[in-house]
Amino acid sequence: MKLGFTTLTALAALLQSATAAISLDTQDVDSIKKASGELAYGLMSFYKNNQSSTPIADVGTLPDPLYWWEAGAVWGAMVDYTAYTEDTSYVATVQQALLAQVGPHSNFMPPAYFFSLGNDDQAFWVLAAISALEYDFPFPAGNASTTWLSLAEAGFNTMVPRWNMSSCNGGLSWQIFPDNVNGMSYKNSISNGGMFQVAARLAHYTGNQTYLDWCDKIWDWMEGVNLISANYDVWDGTSYDNNCSDVNHQPWSYNPSMMLYGSAVLYNHTSSSVWQDRTTGLLKACANTFFSPFPNATDIAFERVCETKDTCNNDQYSFKAYLSRWLAKSAVVAPFIRDSVFQLLNSSATAGVQTCTGGESGELCGHKWYVGGFDGSSGVGQQLAVLETVQALLLLQDDVQPVTPVKGTTAQSGGKGRGKAEGGSVQTSAAVQAPAAPSTTPAASGLVTVLKTKTVLTTAES
């Protein structure tokens, strides 16, 4: 066979696309932005439900079999992407998607998804709206009654009456609708933690005491039924069938990281040593449980329950995204953990992008970051996890002021939470009033020590 020049060039291109991972320098802002852009492009390539032929109820959702909640998680990530990178390419797509799923009462309760819609699912969409609020993500013009803030507060206020005192001394059930029998009696951490983080961020944004009171109440309840352990493990759930006396001890990475960001926001907002200690404890728990699966993979994130056993489902493929998202956001509002978080996310992002050689584009990411390449598993969750870990690095640079969550100001009341006019560049600097320094000295160096001395998961354990 005679190889012509064109064939050779094509062959070279093919070989390159099969081997060239996305390049990333974790301490170079331009490099992180470029890599994030490539990863975001890969993520958005999975989004199809914004065509003129898309049924109205499906706009803003992901293709089956992905559940409704995961789209809310994706839009939250894309709001962050826009704020961190200042790339406004996806603003219109994200606006349309988020607003398409607010439902008839503008609270992220669309009837078409009631069959799968639990408290945790709704929380992921509400959290996306709160990120839009905090980062001044533009709200489309032409609707005077609805704002990111009104959507988030309405979502929160649907959860309040679901707090159920008839067993377990309180708590939210996983499910909202009794038809969803499997999870009605299950009171789980991601649902209660979701409400907790929503309340913490709304407390910080609005200064409204109601939200702070709910934070204390939810934390105390989770601790009271042992969903949060003395070591700040956050277990998966418990059941009202036995008055929450048994706990399902599975450790999933989104549970403690959900609680971590709420706690870090509350630490920032209140300057309380209580929330500072919880922030420290939860970070240690995350570091000890969800990083360094093997001695050859120090500080690389992994989903402990399922990843090394190849049993993760579509939901679980995405969990490392939220682990990274909330670790990094926590480091912004609780800077005393920043060095520890950078150490973890630097290694994880470096390993994560090395898996991104899959798919036809040669740039889709894999699931297992510890194997040193693409592991054959790609999809929305896998792509989201690498994107969120890489873009999180933009919050952790030494020489760059990170994007911070804005607080509501008197100037914003009336149009409060409305965001800038459509299509404008996103304003990311904030009128944040930093509270007084906390009364206790943070134990940042202690955390680094913990990271170095933690146990690694052995094959026998996994």
Residue with smaller CB distance to ligand NAG, 1 or 326: 326
- Residues in contact with ligand NAG by CB under 6 A are 26-27, 44, 47, 50-51, 90, 93, 99, 102, 106, 143, 145-146, 153, 156-157, 164, 166-169, 208, 210, 224-225, 240, 243-244, 268, 271, 294, 296-297, 332-335, 346-347, 350, 370-372, 404-405, 432, 434-435, 437-438
To the nearest whole angstrom, how small is the minimum distance from the Cβ of residue 5 to ligand NAG? 35
Nearest to 31 by CA among 346, 295, 371: 346
DSSP labels for 356-425? --BTTTT-B--S-GGGSS--S--SHHHHHHHHHHHHHGGGS-TTSPPP------GGGSSSTT--SSTTSP
Residue with smaller CB distance to ligand NAG, 175 or 378: 175
To the nearest whole angstrom, how small is the minimum distance from the Cβ of residue 321 to ligand NAG? 19
Nearest to 61 by CA among 132, 127, 110, 106: 110
Residue with smaller CB distance to ligand NAG, 9 or 19: 19
Residue with smaller CB distance to ligand NAG, 102 or 380: 102
Sign of the CA dihedral running 197, 199, 204, 209: negative
DSSP labels for 38-97? HHHHHHHTT--TTSTTS-GGGTT-PPTTS-HHHHHHHHHHHHHHHHHH---TTHHHHHHH
To the nearest whole angstrom, how small is the minimum distance from the Cβ of residue 285 to ligand NAG? 20
To the nearest whole angstrom, how small is the minimum distance from the Cβ of residue 19 to ligand NAG? 16
Sign of the CA dihedral running 192, 198, 202, 205: positive
To the nearest whole angstrom, how small is the minimum distance from the Cβ of residue 61 to ligand NAG? 13
The amino acid occupying position 14 is: L
Name the one residue in this structure whose structure tokens are 């699931």.
Answer: 367
Residue with smaller CB distance to ligand NAG, 34 or 335: 335
Residue with smaller CB distance to ligand NAG, 145 or 453: 145
To the nearest whole angstrom, how small is the minimum distance from the Cβ of residue 205 to ligand NAG? 11
Residue with smaller CB distance to ligand NAG, 275 or 322: 275
To the nearest whole angstrom, how small is the minimum distance from the Cβ of residue 210 to ligand NAG? 4
d(CA 327, CA 253): 11
Tokens of 197: 């983080």
The amino acid occupying position 190 is: I
